[in-house]
C-alpha cells in the first residue's frame, strides 16, 4: 500500500543512472557479454532458415538437382542444433545474470542498510525499504537479464537479416527496410501508451486491494455504524473505475498488434509485387526461392522492431526502481567510526575485539546539544554525570524528548554539539560496535525474531550455552511459562514473536538483555498493561536487570521511578526538574502534577486488579 | 491441483456455477470467439495467396501460363476467367493488394476479439469484486471477529485476478487453438494427406511435453514462492527490529541470516531456470525439426510433382503458425487447475451465510427503559460468558459498568446492538423484545463506540461525517470540541482535511477514540454505548468529555440512555447506576454513594483510591500498600 506513494515512473531515460547501476553489476559483466554473443549467433540462425528454404526450392524443385540432399539435410540439422544450443545457453546465462544480479544487489543493499543511521530509518517506512529490496531489485535483474536478450536478439536479427537481404537483392531489401521506421515509430508510440495504461490499472488495483483491506479490517466498525450500503456504493465506484481503466488498456494493446502486423503485410506485399515482377526481368537475379525467402523476412520484420520498442518502454518504467535502488546504495551513513578507529577496533562486520578496552559504566553528558535533521532543537546544553551502577529515570509526557537522551547514549544519534563520555573518554574514540556490545536494551514494544525462544535469547550473546540461557530465564522468572509450553525452550515464537503474549515477550527480551551482561542498561518501559501476575514478574525482572549496572529508564511505572537514584523530568525537550522522588514531590512542581494525573490511572488499575485477584 | 482429474465432476460443477457471473456478457463472449475464428481464417489465407502467386510465377516461367491458378474458390475463378496463371503473374500487384486487405481484415477482427473479451472479462471481474465486497460486509459481526483478514484479502484480490485472466485470455486462447488445428487439418489434407500427417507427427509430443512440464514445474514455482516469502518475512522482521539489532551490535549476524535467505531465493530461481532452459531448448528443437521435416518432405513430394512449390511454402507457414499455440495450450490447461481452485476459494466466501434478521422484525421506538431479564449468553455452549444478568436502566440514565477483563462487559453491550442475540433470557427496550426490533434500525439508533475503533483512510472531516453525510462544518466542529478533538485536529497543517492512516497522519489511541466518539455523537442516538472508549484518554480529558456529553444532551433536548464501560472511579462516581460485573453475573448494582457503604469489591477499591489522594496531599509515597 505504501508502495503506491512512491513515484513509479520517470519521464526520460537516464543513461547515466543505468551506467551507474551496471557498474554495481560488475561480477556479471561477463554473463552480459556472453548473452550478447549468443544472441548474435541465434539471430544468425534465424536468418539462415529462410535461406535454406530458398535453396531447397531453387536447387531441388526448380533446379531439379538430385544430388546433395544429404548435405542439405546435414546443414539444416546443424542449424537446428546450433539454434538449440543458443537457446539453451542464453536461457542459462540470462537466468544466471538475473538471479545473480538480483542477489548481488540485495546483498549490497542489506549491507548498506546495516550501516545506515537511524535518521534513515526514521524517514523511510519499512514498507518502502522492503519493496526496494524485493520487487525493485527483482525488476532490475529481470530488465537487465532478459531485456538484454530481447534487445540484442532484435538488433542482431535486423542487422543480419538486412545484410542477407542486401546480398540477395538490394532493391527488394530496401523495400522491406522502408517500412522499418514506420513500424518503429508506431511501436514506440503504442508501447508508451500501453505501459501508461497498465500503470493506471495497477494503481487502481492497489486502491481496490486497499478498499478490501479497509472493508474487512473495518467491518466491525462499519456494522456498528450501519455503513454497509454506503461502503458498497463507494466500492462500486472504485470497481467501475477499475473496469474502464482495464478495458482502456486492453483495447489499446489489442489495437497494437493488428496495426503493426498490417504494416508488416505492406512490406510483404511490396516484396511480392517487386519480386514477382523481377522474376521475369532479363537479369534473372530473382529466383522463386529468393522471392520465398524475402516473403519470410518481410513477414518477420515487425517482431524485432516492436520488441525493441517494448524494451525501451520497459526500461523507462523500470527506471524509477533503478533510481530507488541506486539512491539507497548511495546513501551515506551519518554515524560512522573514523578510519583510525576502524583501524584499531574493526568495523561492524569484522570487529577486532582483542583491541577493545574494558568498560566500567560511568556516563557523562558534557554540554550536549542535539537536534534532528528536521531542525527542531531537542536538547540544549545538557549536562549530566552518572556514576557506574546508578539508575536514572526519565519522566515526561509522550514526545517530550525522553527517547532522544536514550538514543544518544546508544549512539543511535550523536550530539550536534558537546561530548558524551563513557568512563571519561569521548565515545566517538571507541567503535560503535564496542559501545553496543556493552549495552543492554529493552524496548517498550519488545521485538522478537521468528525462531525458538532459545534462539531469541541467544541473540543477546551468540556464544551463550544452553545452561546460561536457562539461567537468564530463571533470573527473570520466565522459566515457568517457557517450560509449560509444548516444546519448552525450543518453542517457535512466530513472526515478530506474535505467538507469545506481550508480557511473555517482555520477559524474554529481559532475558535476552541480561545474557549479554551489559555494563549499561537502557529500558524503554512499556505503557501497555499486562495481567497482575506478569506485572509482578516484570517488576522483579527490572530489579534484577538494574542491579550493578548503569541504567537509563524511560519510566512509566511507579515502583521503577521510586527506586531510581535520579529522576529527570523532561518537558518540551528540556530537563525542567531533577532529583529523587521525595525531593520532586516536595517541590510541588511539574512532577507533582504529572504524577497525580498520569499515575492516578495506574493506581486505580492496581487497586482494582489487586482486589479482583483475591 | 494434482488430483484434478479425480475431481472432474466437481470442477465442472464449479465452472458451470461460475457462469452466473457471465450472464449479460455472453454475447460479447460469443462475439469474441467468432472474431477469433475470422482472424484465424484470414491468417490462413495469407500463405495461400503467397503460394498462389509463387505458383503462378513458376508456371508462367515454365511456359504453362494458361494453367489455372492455385487459389481457393472464387478467387481462382476470377483469375482463371482472365487468363489463369499468366494473368496473375503479370498482375501480381492484385495479389499484393489482396494480401494487405486480408491482413487488415484479420487485424480488425483480432482487435475486436481483444476488445470484446476485455469488456466481457472485466465486467465479470467487476461483478465478482462487488459481490464479494457486499457479501463480506453483510456477514455477521461474529464472522469478522473470527476472520483471517490476510487470507480474505488474498482471495478477493489474487484469486479474482486469476479467474479474470483465465476468462480474459485463456478461454479464448483454447478456442483459438482448437479452431486453428481444425482449419489447418482440413486445408492441409485437401492438398496432400501424407504430407499433412508428416507435418503433424511431432505435434502431439510437443503438446504432451508442454502439458507435463508445466504440471511438473509448478512444484518448483511454489518452492520459489516460499523462499521469496521467507526473504520478505526476514527483511520485515530485521528492519522493524533494527533497534534491537543495533543495540546488540548484531549487524554481522543479520547479514549472515539475510545471506542464507537470499541464497535460497537465488538457488530456487536458478533451479527453475535450469529446467526452463532444458524445456525451451528441447521443445524449440522439436519445433524446428518439425518445420525441417515438413520442408524436406514437401520438397520431396514437389520434386515428384505431387504438389507445387507454393504448397510447400503453405505447409511450412501453417506448421510454424500452429506450433506456438499448441505449446501454449499445454500450459493453459495446467493453469486451468489454478483457476478452478481460485473459483472454489471464492465460493467458500460467497457460500458462507450472510447475517439474517429475525423474520417479522420491525422498527420500534428506542427511547424507553432498557431491561435485562436473566440474560444468558455463550459463544460456544461450553463456556457461558453471561450467566444471569438482570437490571433495569431507566430512559436517559447513565449506566456505568465495571468488571475485570473477560467478565463479559463488552459482550453485554454487543447484545444491545444485536451484534449477537442472547442465548437465554430476554432484553426489552421500552417493553419491546429486542429480537423483534429490526437490526439495521436498532444499530442506526444505538450509538456504539468500540474499544478499538476503526478510522477509515480518508480525511478527518469525512471520518466524522461518515454517520451523517453532508453534515455542516459547524456540526463537525461542535462534536469535535465536545470530544476535545478540535484542538489537536486544528494543529494539523491541513486541519479537518488531514488524511488518516497510511496516506496521512497516524493518530494516537486517544485521538482515535475521541474521533470515534465524535462521529457517533454526530447522529441522533437513543442509546449511547462507550465501550472503554476513553481508556487511552487522560483522566482530565475524560471528565471534560463526559461533562460536555451531559451539556450537549441538555442542549439538544435529547437524552440518550448511556452505557459507559470504565474502571475509572471518577467516571463511576458520576453515573446514575453502577453495575459491577463478576463472573457473568451482576455482583453489585446501585449508585456510587450506596456502593461505597456496602461491603464488597467496590468499597475496597474505593478505599485504596482514597489512600492515593492522601499521599498526594502529604507528598510522601504510601503506594506500597496497594502494590501487588
Q: Which residues of chain B have pLDDT under 50?
A: 1-5, 554, 621-628
Question: Chain A closest CA to B170's CA: distance in Å?
Answer: 15
- Kindly state the cell numbers that stand for A102: 538480483
Return the higher-pLDDT residue of A340 and A533.
A340
pLDDT digits (tens, 9 = 90+) for B326-377: 888 888 888 888 888 899 999 999 999 988 888 989 999 998 999 999 999 9
Question: CB B258 to CB A110 under 8 A?
Answer: yes
Question: CB B92 to CB A231 under 8 A?
Answer: no
Residue A46 pLDDT greater than 90, yes or no: yes
pLDDT digits (tens, 9 = 90+) for B251-279: 889 999 999 999 999 999 999 999 999 99
Interface of B with A in 209-268 (CB under 8 A): 228, 231-233, 235-255, 258-259, 262-263, 265-266
Question: CB A211 to CB B241 under 8 A?
Answer: no
Q: Is B538 helix (H, G, I), strand (E, B) or coil?
A: coil
Pairwise CA distance, residues B283 & B260, whole Å: 34
Q: Looking at residue B4, what is its pLDDT? A: 46
Does residue B76 belong to the interface with chain A, where contact is any CB pair within 8 Å?
Answer: no
C-alpha distances (whole Å) from A528 to each of A396, A543, A544, A570, B380 are 16, 19, 21, 21, 30
Output DSSP code: residue A368. Answer: E
Residues of A in contact with B320 (CB under 8 A): none
User: Which CATH code is given to the segment(s) B22-192?
Assistant: 1.20.1560.10
| Domain residue limits, chain A | 2-329
Question: CB A250 to CB B237 under 8 A?
Answer: no
Question: CB B280 to CB A98 under 8 A?
Answer: no
Grid coordinates 526538574 are at which residue? Answer: A577
Residues of B in contact with A246 (CB under 8 A): 118, 122, 125
pTM, two decimal places: 0.80
B545 and B484 Cβ atoms separated by less than 8 Å = yes
Residues of A in contact with B469 (CB under 8 A): 230
| Domain residue limits, chain B | 22-192, 193-306, 370-595, 596-628
Q: Are strands A363-371 and A377-386 parallel, antiparallel or unpaired?
A: antiparallel
Question: Chain B closest CA to A30's CA: distance in Å?
Answer: 18
Which residue of B346, B456, B609 is the best one to mutate when testing the A interface, meaning the one whose CB has the most A CBs within 10 A? B456
Question: Chain A closest CA to B463's CA: distance in Å?
Answer: 12
Q: Is B225 helix (H, G, I), strand (E, B) or coil?
A: helix
Pairwise CA distance, residues B537 & B545, whole Å: 10
Does residue B61 belong to the interface with chain A, where contact is any CB pair within 8 Å?
Answer: yes
Sort residue B531 into left (φ over 0), alpha (ψ -120 to 50) or beta.
Answer: beta
- Kindly state the cell numbers that stand for B337: 487447475
User: Which CATH code is given to the segment(s) A2-329?
Assistant: 1.20.1560.10
Q: Is B77 helix (H, G, I), strand (E, B) or coil?
A: helix
A38 and A90 Cβ atoms separated by less than 8 Å = yes
Q: Looking at residue B627, what is its pLDDT? A: 38
Residues of A in contact with B296 (CB under 8 A): 56, 73, 76
Pairwise CA distance, residues B563 & B399, whole Å: 5
The CA angle B484-B489-B494, to the nearest 5 degrees, is 165
Interface of B with A in 169-208 (CB under 8 A): none
Interface of B with A in 96-115 (CB under 8 A): 96-97, 99-100, 102-104, 106-108, 110-111, 113-115
Q: Any alpha helices (H) in A169-227, and if so which ranges?
A: 170-217, 219-224
Q: Looking at residue A284, what is its pLDDT? A: 64
pLDDT digits (tens, 9 = 90+) for A96-153: 999 999 999 999 999 999 989 888 887 787 888 888 888 889 888 888 888 888 899 9
Q: Looking at residue A5, what is its pLDDT? A: 46
Residues of B in contact with A300 (CB under 8 A): none
Question: Chain B closest CA to A415's CA: distance in Å?
Answer: 18
Out of B104, B231, B269, the one facing A262 most closely (by C-beta) is B104
Question: CB B273 to CB A57 under 8 A?
Answer: no
Pairwise CA distance, residues A34 & B578, whole Å: 82
Interface of B with A in 483-522 (CB under 8 A): 502-503, 508, 516, 519-520
Grid coordinates 492497489 are at which residue? Answer: A206
Out of A76, A91, A221, the one facing B277 most closely (by C-beta) is A91
Out of B138, B236, B467, the one facing A225 most closely (by C-beta) is B467
Out of B156, B237, B604, the one facing A450 most closely (by C-beta) is B237
Does residue B610 belong to the interface with chain A, where contact is any CB pair within 8 Å?
Answer: no
Q: Are strands B384-393 and B370-378 parallel, antiparallel or unpaired?
A: antiparallel
Q: What percent of chain A is modeled with pLDDT above 70?
A: 91
pLDDT digits (tens, 9 = 90+) for A466-497: 999 999 998 888 888 888 888 889 998 887 77
Out of B457, B582, B604, the one facing A214 most closely (by C-beta) is B457
Residue of chain B with shortest Cα separation from A82:
B285
Question: Chain B closest CA to A14's CA: distance in Å?
Answer: 29
pLDDT digits (tens, 9 = 90+) for A246-270: 999 999 989 998 999 899 899 999 9
Does residue B158 belong to the interface with chain A, where contact is any CB pair within 8 Å?
Answer: no
DSSP A36-94: HHHHHHHHHHHHHHHHHHHHIIIIIIIS---S-HHHHHHHHHHHHHHHHHHHHHHHHHH
Residue A598 pLDDT greater than 70, yes or no: no
Interface of B with A in 577-606 (CB under 8 A): 582, 601, 604-605
Q: Looking at residue A45, what is its pLDDT? A: 95
- Kindly state the cell numbers that stand for A265: 503485410
Q: Which residues are CB-neighbours of A80 under 8 A, at least 6 positions away?
A: B285, B288, B289, B292
Which residue of B25, B46, B48, B57 is the best one to mutate when testing the A interface, meaning the one whose CB has the most A CBs within 10 A? B57
B14 and B343 Cβ atoms separated by less than 8 Å = yes
C-alpha distances (whole Å) from A488 to each of A455, A479, A491, A537, B50 are 12, 9, 6, 19, 79
- Other C-beta atoms lying within 10 Å of the C-beta of residue A163: 13
Question: Chain A closest CA to B246's CA: distance in Å?
Answer: 7
Residues of B in contact with A398 (CB under 8 A): 508
Q: Looking at residue A354, what is its pLDDT? A: 87
Q: Looking at residue B38, what is its pLDDT? A: 95
- Kindly state the cell numbers that stand for B595: 456502593
Out of B46, B133, B280, the one facing A87 most closely (by C-beta) is B280
Residues of A in contact with B253 (CB under 8 A): 459, 462
Is the domain covering B370-595 a CATH 3.40.50.300 domain?
Answer: yes
Residues of A in contact with B235 (CB under 8 A): 129-130, 133-134
Out of B113, B237, B249, the one facing A496 most closely (by C-beta) is B237
DSSP B358-408: PTT-B-----S-EEEEEEEEESSTTSEEEEEEEEEE-TT-EEEEE--TTSS
Question: CB B61 to CB A596 under 8 A?
Answer: no
Output DSSP code: residue B437. Answer: B
Out of B50, B103, B280, the one facing A295 most closely (by C-beta) is B50
Question: CB A441 to CB B312 under 8 A?
Answer: no
Q: Which residues are CB-neighbours of A214 under 8 A, at least 6 positions away?
A: B456, B457
Out of B57, B108, B137, the one facing A232 most closely (by C-beta) is B137
Q: Looking at residue A145, what is its pLDDT? A: 85
Pairwise CA distance, residues B232 & B248, whole Å: 22
Residue A6 pLDDT greater than 60, yes or no: no
Does residue B612 belong to the interface with chain A, where contact is any CB pair within 8 Å?
Answer: yes
Residues of A in contact with B626 (CB under 8 A): 603, 606-607, 610
Gyration radius from chain B CA atoms? 38
Out of B134, B405, B450, the one facing A224 most closely (by C-beta) is B450
B536 and B508 Cβ atoms separated by less than 8 Å = yes
B450 closest CA partner among B508, B532, B560, B549: B532
Question: Terminal CA-to-CA distance of chain A, rounded, Å?
Answer: 48
B288 and A83 Cβ atoms separated by less than 8 Å = yes
Q: Is B563 helix (H, G, I), strand (E, B) or coil?
A: strand
Amino acid at each position: 500500500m505504501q508502495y503506491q506513494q512512491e513515484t513509479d515512473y520517470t519521464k526520460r531515460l537516464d543513461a547515466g543512472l543505468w551506467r551507474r547501476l551496471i557498474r554495481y553489476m560488475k561480477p556479471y559483466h561477463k554473463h552480459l557479454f556472453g548473452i550478447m554473443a549468443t544472441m548474435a549467433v541465434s539471430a544468425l540462425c534465424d536468418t539462415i532458415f529462410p535461406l535454406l528454404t530458398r535453396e531447397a526450392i531453387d536447387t531441388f524443385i526448380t533446379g531439379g538437382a538430385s544430388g546433395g540432399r544429404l548435405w542439405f539435410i546435414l546443414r539444416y540439422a546443424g542449424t537446428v542444433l546450433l539454434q538449440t544450443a543458443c537457446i539453451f545457453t542464453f536461457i542459462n546465462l540470462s537466468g544466471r545474470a538475473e538471479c545473480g544480479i538480483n542477489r548481488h544487489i540485495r546483498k549490497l543493499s542489506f549491507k548498506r542498510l546495516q550501516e545506515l543511521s537511524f535518521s534513515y530509518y526514521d524517514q523511510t517506512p519499512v514498507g518502502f525499504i522492503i519493496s526496494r529490496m524485493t520487487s525493485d531489485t527483482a525488476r532490475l535483474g529481470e530488465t537487465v537479464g532478459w531485456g538484454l536478450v530481447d534487445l540484442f536478439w532484435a538488433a542482431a536479427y535486423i542487422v543480419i537479416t538486412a545484410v542477407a537481404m542486401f546480398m540477395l537483392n538490394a532493391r527488394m531489401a530496401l523495400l522491406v527496410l522502408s517500412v522499418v521506421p514506420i513500424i518503429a515509430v508506431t511501436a514506440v508510440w503504442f508501447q508508451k501508451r500501453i505501459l501508461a495504461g497498465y500503470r493506471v490499472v495497477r494503481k487502481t488495483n492497489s486502491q481496490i486491494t486497499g478498499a478490501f483491506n479497509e472493508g474487512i479490517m473495518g467491518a466491525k466498525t462499519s456494522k456498528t455504524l450501519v455503513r454497509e450500503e454506503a461502503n458498497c456504493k463507494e466500492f462500486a465506484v472504485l470497481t467501475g473505475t477499475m473496469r474502464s481503466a482495464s478495458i482502456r488498456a486492453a483495447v489499446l494493446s489489442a489495437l497494437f498488434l493488428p496495426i503493426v502486423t498490417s504494416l508488416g503485410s505492406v512490406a510483404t506485399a511490396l516484396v511480392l509485387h517487386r519480386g514477382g515482377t523481377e522474376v521475369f526481368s532479363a537479369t534473372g537475379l530473382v529466383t522463386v526461392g529468393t522471392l520465398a525467402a524475402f516473403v519470410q523476412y518481410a513477414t518477420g520484420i515487425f517482431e524485432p522492431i516492436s520488441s525493441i520498442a517494448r524494451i525501451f518502454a520497459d526500461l523507462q518504467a523500470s527506471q524509477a526502481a533503478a533510481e530507488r535502488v541506486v539512491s539507497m546504495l548511495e546513501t551515506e551513513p551519518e554515524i560512522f567510526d573514523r578510519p583510525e578507529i576502524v583501524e584499531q577496533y574493526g568495523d561492524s562486520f569484522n570487529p577486532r575485539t582483542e583491541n577493545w578496552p574494558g568498560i566500567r559504566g560511568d556516563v557523562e553528558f558534557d554540554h550536549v546539544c542535539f537536534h534532528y535533521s528536521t531542525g527542531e532543537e531537542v536538547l540544549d546544553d545538557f549536562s549530566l554525570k552518572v556514576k557506574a551502577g546508578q539508575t536514572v529515570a526519565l519522566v515526561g509526557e509522550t514526545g517530550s524528548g525522553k527517547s532522544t537522551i536514550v538514543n544518544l547514549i546508544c549512539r543511535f544519534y550523536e550530539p550536534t554539539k558537546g561530548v558524551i563520555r563513557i568512563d571519561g573518554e569521548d565515545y566517538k574514540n571507541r567503535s560503535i560496535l564496542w559501545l553496543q556490545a556493552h549495552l543492554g536494551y529493552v524496548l517498550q514494544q519488545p521485538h522478537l525474531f521468528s525462531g525458538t525462544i532459545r534462539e531469541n535469547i541467544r541473540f543477546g550473546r551468540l556464544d551463550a550455552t544452553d545452561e546460561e540461557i536457562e539461567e537468564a530465564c530463571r533470573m527473570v522468572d520466565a522459566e515457568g511459562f517457557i517450560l509449560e509450553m509444548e516444546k519448552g525452550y525450543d518453542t517457535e515464537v512466530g513472526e515478530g514473536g506474535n505467538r507469545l503474549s506481550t508480557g511473555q515477550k517482555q520477559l524474554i527480551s529481559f532475558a535476552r538483555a541480561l545474557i549479554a551482561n551489559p555494563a549499561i542498561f537502557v529500558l524503554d518501559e512499556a505503557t501497555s498493561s499486562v495481567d497482575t501476575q506478569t506485572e509482578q514478574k516484570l517488576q522483579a525482572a527490572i530489579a534484577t536487570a538494574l542491579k550493578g549496572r548503569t541504567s537509563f529508564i524511560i519510566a512509566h511505572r511507579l515502583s521503577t521511578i521510586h527506586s531510581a537514584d535520579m529522576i529527570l523530568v523532561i518537558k518540551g525537550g528540556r530537563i525542567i526538574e531533577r532529583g529523587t522522588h521525595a525531593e520532586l514531590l516536595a517541590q510541588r512542581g511539574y512532577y507533582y502534577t504529572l504524577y497525580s494525573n498520569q499515575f492516578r490511572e495506574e493506581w486505580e488499575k492496581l487497586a482494582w486488579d489487586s482486589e479482583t485477584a483475591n | 491441483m494434482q488430483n484434478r482429474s479425480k475431481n472432474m465432476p466437481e470442477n465442472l460443477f464449479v465452472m458451470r456455477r461460475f457462469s452466473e457471473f457471465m450472464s449479460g456478457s455472453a454475447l460479447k463472449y460469443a462475439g469474441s470467439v467468432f472474431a477469433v475464428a475470422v482472424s484465424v481464417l484470414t491468417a490462413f489465407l495469407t500463405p495461400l495467396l503467397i503460394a498462389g502467386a509463387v505458383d503462378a510465377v513458376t508456371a508462367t516461367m515454365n511456359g504453362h501460363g494458361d494453367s489455372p491458378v492455385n487459389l481457393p474458390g472464387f478467387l481462382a475463378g476470377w483469375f482463371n476467367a482472365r487468363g489463369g496463371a499468366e494473368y496473375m503473374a503479370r498482375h501480381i500487384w492484385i495479389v499484393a493488394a489482396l494480401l494487405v486487405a486480408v491482413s487488415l481484415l484479420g487485424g480488425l477482427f483480432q482487435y475486436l476479439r481483444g476488445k470484446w473479451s476485455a469488456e466481457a472479462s472485466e465486467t465479470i471481474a467487476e461483478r465478482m469484486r462487488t459481490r464479494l465486497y457486499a457479501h463480506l460486509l453483510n456477514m455477521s459481526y461474529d464472522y469478522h471477529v473470527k476472520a483471517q483478514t490476510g487470507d480474505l484479502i488474498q482471495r478477493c484480490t489474487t484469486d479474482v485476478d486469476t479467474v479474470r485472466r483465465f476468462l480474459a485470455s485463456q478461454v479464448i486462447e483454447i478456442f483459438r487453438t482448437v479452431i486453428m488445428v481444425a482449419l489447418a487439418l482440413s486445408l492441409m489434407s485437401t492438398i496432400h494427406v501424407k504430407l499433412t500427417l508428416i507435418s503433424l507427427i511431432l505435434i502431439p509430443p510437443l503438446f504432451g511435453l508442454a502439458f507435463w512440464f508445466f504440471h511438473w514445474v509448478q512444484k518448483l514455482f511454489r518452492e520459489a514462492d516460499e523462499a521469496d516469502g521467507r526473504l520478505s518475512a526476514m527483511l520485515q522482521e530485521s528492519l522493524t527490529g533494527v533497534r534491537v539489532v543495533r543495540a546488540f551490535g548484531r549487524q554481522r549476524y543479520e547479514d549472515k541470516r539475510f545471506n542464507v535467505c537470499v541464497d535460497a531465493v537465488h538457488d530456487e530461481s536458478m533451479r527453475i531456470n535450469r529446467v526452463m532452459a532444458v524445456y525451451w531448448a528441447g521443445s524449440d528443437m522439436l519445433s524446428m525439426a518439425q518445420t525441417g521435416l515438413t520442408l524436406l518432405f514437401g520438397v520431396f513430394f514437389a520434386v515428384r510433382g505431387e504438389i507445387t512449390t507454393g504448397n510447400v511454402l503453405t505447409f511450412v507457414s501453417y506448421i510454424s503458425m500452429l506450433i506456438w499455440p499448441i505449446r501454449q495450450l499445454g500450459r493453459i490447461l495446467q493453469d486451468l487447475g489454478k483457476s478452478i481452485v481460485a473459483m472454489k476459494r471464492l465460493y467458500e466466501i460467497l457460500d458462507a451465510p450472510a447475517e439474517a434478521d429475525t423474520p417479522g422484525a420491525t422498527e420500534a421506538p428506542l427511547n424507553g427503559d432498557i431491561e435485562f431479564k436473566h440474560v444468558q449468553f455463550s459463544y460456544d455452549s461450553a463456556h457461558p460468558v453471561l450467566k444471569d444478568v438482570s437490571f433495569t436502566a431507566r430512559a436517559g440514565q447513565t449506566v456505568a459498568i465495571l468488571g475485570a477483563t473477560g467478565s463479559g462487559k463488552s459482550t453485554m453491550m454487543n447484545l444491545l446492538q444485536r451484534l449477537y442475540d442472547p442465548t437465554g433470557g430476554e432484553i426489552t427496550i421500552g417493553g419491546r423484545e429486542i429480537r423483534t426490533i429490526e437490526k439495521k434500525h436498532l444499530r442506526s439508533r444505538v450509538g456504539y463506540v468500540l474499544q478499538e475503533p476503526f478510522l477509515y483512510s480518508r480525511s478527518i472531516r469525512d471520518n466524522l461525517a461518515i454517520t451523517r453525510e453532508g453534515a455542516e462544518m459547524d456540526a463537525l466542529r461542535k462534536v469535535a470540541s465536545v470530544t476535545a478533538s478540535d484542538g489537536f485536529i486544528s494543529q494539523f497543517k491541513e486541519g479537518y482535511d488531514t488524511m488518516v492512516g497510511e496516506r496521512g497522519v497516524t493518530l494516537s489511541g486517544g485521538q482515535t477514540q475521541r474521533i470515534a466518539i465524535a462521529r457517533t455523537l454526530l447522529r441522533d442516538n437513543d442509546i449511547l454505548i462507550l465501550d472503554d472508549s476513553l481508556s487511552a484518554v487522560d483522566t482530565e480529558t475524560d471528565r471534560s468529555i463526559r461533562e460536555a456529553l451531559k451539556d450537549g444532551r441538555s442542549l439538544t433536548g435529547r437524552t440518550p440512555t448511556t452505557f459507559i464501560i470504565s474502571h475509572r472511579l471518577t467516571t463511576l462516581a458520576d453515573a446514575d447506576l453502577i453495575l459491577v460485573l463478576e463472573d457473568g453475573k451482576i455482583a453489585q448494582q446501585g449508585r456510587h454513594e450506596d456502593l461505597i457503604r456496602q461491603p464488597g469489591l467496590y468499597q475496597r477499591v474505593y478505599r485504596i483510591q482514597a489512600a492515593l489522594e492522601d499521599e498526594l496531599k502529604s507528598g510522601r509515597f504510601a503506594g506500597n500498600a496497594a502494590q501487588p
